[in-house]
Amino acid sequence: MVEVGVQSGGSAMMWKSYFGPGLRYYGIDINPQAQQFQSDWATIFIGDQADPAFWDSLRGKLPKEVDFFLDDGGHTMEQQKVTFQKAFPLVKLNGVYACEDLSTSYSPDFGSETLKPGSGGPKGSFIELAKQMIDWMNCYFAGGDVLNKNMECSSEFKQGIMANNGFLETAYSLHFYSQILLIEKARVLAPVTVKGGGYSIRYGGPGSVWDGTLYKTPKKSVEQLPLH
């Protein structure tokens, strides 16, 4: 696993006890004193999680893929967003990306705005970004085509963090808890229109009649479809 925020090594020890002897822990902290927690199972890197170049410098030093990534660093909006942009691709399929202490999304001290009732939420916060993730997961329908005939996300989904870190292709589920977001990764396919296993009748209304079409279950399973 990778954890941003080593501090006094407390959580590193907790993860070691939770995951057991097989744990490979990679800790990141801006404070050089965190280096003292380096051990045979823990590797510590010193740097600023808000600096994209720092993440680039870790290429080849961190494993190519990790099971679990946890952002428990400085908790500012910039730090959380840059980290999500750069580190989400590190998590392997079936792995989990976690960002904690999301209460800072409501604090000006951490680069956000306080939530005012009816304001639609704090601008620029990680929580706001997390809410957008829900739209991204449904981007194929966001243009209003709920029957999804063209399998294309509309143009507003072609830019920003989620357009550049593999989110569309791999963000399988979002789990919101108080102050914590977990993103479970898996292979995510663009929706396909498949009709099978029944007759077609028109949807709703007194004029609903069978149009005479029988759909057979398709031979090709969704798993065999190519990645988009």
- Which residues of this protein are in contact with ligand SAM, per CB under 6 A? 4-7, 10-11, 28-31, 48-50, 72-74, 79
> Closest CB to ligand SAM belongs to which residue?
74
| Rounded (10°) CA dihedral 182, 45, 19, 16 | -130
Closer CB to ligand SAM, 97 or 157, in the complex: 97
Closer CB to ligand SAM, 101 or 184, in the complex: 101
Strand order in the sheet with 171-177: 42-46, 25-29, 2-4, 66-71, 91-99, 180-185, 171-177
For residue 189, the minimal CB distance to ligand SAM (Å) is 35
Three-state secondary structure call for residue 60: coil
For residue 20, the minimal CB distance to ligand SAM (Å) is 19
Closer CB to ligand SAM, 14 or 93, in the complex: 14
Classify residue 114 as left (phi > 0), alpha (psi -120 to 50) or beta.
beta
Q: Beta strands 42-46 and 25-29: pairing type?
A: parallel
What does DSSP assign to residue 101? -
Closer CB to ligand SAM, 182 or 190, in the complex: 182
For residue 219, the minimal CB distance to ligand SAM (Å) is 50
Closer CB to ligand SAM, 31 or 138, in the complex: 31
For residue 38, the minimal CB distance to ligand SAM (Å) is 15
Do the Cβ atoms of 86 and 48 come closer than 8 Å?
A: no
For residue 162, the minimal CB distance to ligand SAM (Å) is 22
